[in-house]
Structure 1
Amino acid sequence: MTAQQRLNQVLELVIQQGNVSIAEICESLGVSTATVRRDLNTLAEQRLVTRTHGGAAALGSGYELPLQYKIARQAEAKKAIAAAVAELVSPGDSVGLNGGTTTTEVARVLARADRLAGSGDAPGVTIVTNALNIAYELSVREHVKIVVTGGVPRRQSYELVGPLVGSSLRDFSLELAVLGVDGITARFGATTVHEGEAEASRQLASVAQRVVVAADSSKLGRTTFARICPLDAVDVLVTDVDVETSVAHDLAAAGVEVIVATPR
């Protein structure tokens, strides 16, 4: 286990339980007391947890984790979702991607897909994104044309935000906008934690013929601070579990197609 993987697991325990002792972490992860103390101090210094006497407590539920701490969460579900989303993309399509771990997985699948390899000088797929990490990772793929919006980067998520995002997209037309979200409900639609990222995602959706929300089960029925779009603006929801009957009814009423991608 790498140090980053261990930090991810420690943070996951704190988030799940709300308040956890050093002894509980030691027992769960099979590591020493000294190692746990160092890890908790590291997380506290980064303002990801609050140190308590003999352990640590989670911050508020609305707190946004940095991207590097989200990577290991629901990893298999996100890979399955990404594979299902990629099936919606045809050769030559232009696809908008916002930032996040799920859309990063989508970008990786699109980059590896042989059927999207293109021919000659024509790109197999064009990716339009406000996520710097996605643009960097795909920039070496010859068959992928990368277009990066303008904007000011957020260190928390590597996403560009601000009015330059919208002005960059004004003259584009995309076949798909694939949006990672922090929550999706019938009442509030697709939501995220940061209002600037919500606006950037909304701009991507506004120039797309179809809007696809890629959301694992932890996002279903959850509402966060900033609305991206109402539910009836979403064309397809790709998730990893069968949705509850009441949720399925709301999705059907809003005209949302549901695709369930089961992790292997």
Structure 2
Amino acid sequence: MTQQQRLNVVLDLVSERGSVSIAEVSDVLGVSTATVRRDLNTLAEQRLVTRTHGGASALGSGYELPLQYKIARQADAKVAIARAVADLIQPGQSVGLNGGTTTSEVARMLGRSERLHPDGDSPGVTIVTNALNIAYEMSVREHIKIVVTGGVPRRQSYELIGPLVANSLQDFSMDLAVLGVDGLSAAFGATTLHEGEAEASREIAAVARRVVIAADSTKLGRSTFARICPLAGIDTLVTDQPVAPDFAAELANAGVEVIVADAGK
């Protein structure tokens, strides 16, 4: 196991339990206590955990991890979701993507899709995004036209935020907006941790004819700080596990189509 993988496991443990001891982490990872101390010190130096006597604790429930520490989480689920989302997109369509690990996987799936490659006069796909990492990765794909919104980047997520996002989108009309979220609940709809990112996602959704939420099962039934849109503003949810009956009923009442991705593909 690499150090990056160990750090991800430690962050998951701290998130689940609130605090961990060096001995607990050592048992879970199967490494020495000296290695655990070094890993905890690394995370504390990056202000991802609070170092305590004999262990570490979470900084707070609202703290957002940088994107690079989220990449390994729910990786198989996100790939399956991305594949199902790509199946919804046709050659020649325009797609809005916000930032995040799931939408990054969607972009990669579109970039690899032979079905979406231009055939004769058939165009490829246009991606409109406020995520710098997505724009960078897709810029080398000949069949993908990349349009990047204006805005000021957030280091945590590589997303552009602020009034320039809306200004650059005002003359666009897109077929789909595919949005990653931090939470999706009946009471608050689609939510994220940062108000600036929520506003940027709303602006992307506002110029799309169809809004698709791409969210793994860990995001369902929970809400975070900033609302993107209510359930009624969503057309389709693509997730990786069957939805709990009560929440499924709420989604149906709001007119949200649910697609459960097949991880076995």
Q: Give the TM-score normalised by structure 1.
A: 0.98
Q: Following TM superposition, by how much is the alpha carbon of 1:75 offset from its aligned partner in structure 2, in angstroms?
A: 0.8
SS of equivalent to 1:238: strand
What secondary structure sits across from 1:259 in the alignment?
strand
1:59 is displaced (CA, Å) by: 2.0
2:128 alignment partner, SS class: strand
Shift of 1:262: 3.4
1:66-145 equivalences in 2 (<5 Å): 66-119=66-119, 123-145=123-145
Structure 1 pair 183/21, CA: closer, same or farther in 2 (3 Å)? same
Partner of 2:167: 167
Structure-to-structure mapping, 1:21-100, within 5 angstroms: 21-100=21-100
CA contact (8 A) 1:123 1:144 kept: no
Alpha-carbon shift at residue 10 of structure 1 (Å)? 1.5
Paired residues of 1:123 and 1:145 also in contact (CA < 8 A): no
In the alignment, is the contact (CA less than 8 A) between 1:77 and 1:262 conserved in 2?
A: no
Equivalent pair of 1:127/1:146 in contact (CA under 8 Å): yes
Distance 1:14 1:187 in 2: 27
Aligned counterparts of 2:199 and 2:8: Cα–Cα separation in 1: 29
Deviations, residues 172-213 of structure 1 (Å, cap 9, x unaligned) = 110000000001111111000000000000000000000000
Does the CA contact (< 8 Å) of 2:126 and 2:146 recur in 1?
yes
Paired residue secondary structure (1:127): strand
Question: Which consecutive unaligned segments of at least 5 residues does structure 1 have?
Answer: none
Q: TM-score, normalised by structure 2?
A: 0.97
Which whole-Å CA distance do the structure 2 matches of 1:234 and 1:44 have between them?
38
Q: CA deviation at 1:123?
A: 4.2
Aligned to 1:245: 245
Aligned to 2:198: 198
Which blocks of at least 5 consecutive residues in structure 2 are unaligned? none
Q: Secondary structure at the match of 1:198?
A: helix
Amino acid in the other structure paired with 1:137: E
Alpha-carbon distance in structure 2 between the residues aligned to 1:152 and 1:208: 22
Once the 2 structures are TM-superposed, how far is the Cα of residue 61 of structure 1 from its aligned partner? Answer: 1.4
Q: 1:123 to 1:37 in 2, by over 3 A?
A: farther
Partner-residue secondary structure (3-state), 1:116? coil
Per-residue deviation, 1:55: 0.5
Match for 2:5: what amino acid? Answer: Q
Once residues 17 and 248 of structure 1 are traced to their aligned partners in structure 2, the CA distance between those partners, rounded to angstroms, is 28
Distance 2:89 2:181 in 1: 19
Opposite residue 95 of structure 1, the aligned amino acid is V
Q: 2:235 maps to what in 1?
A: 235
* More moved, 45-54 vs 98-107: 45-54
Q: Identify the residue that residue 18 of structure 1 maps to in structure 2.
A: 18
How many residue pairs align between the two structures? Answer: 264
- Secondary structure of 1:59 counterpart: coil
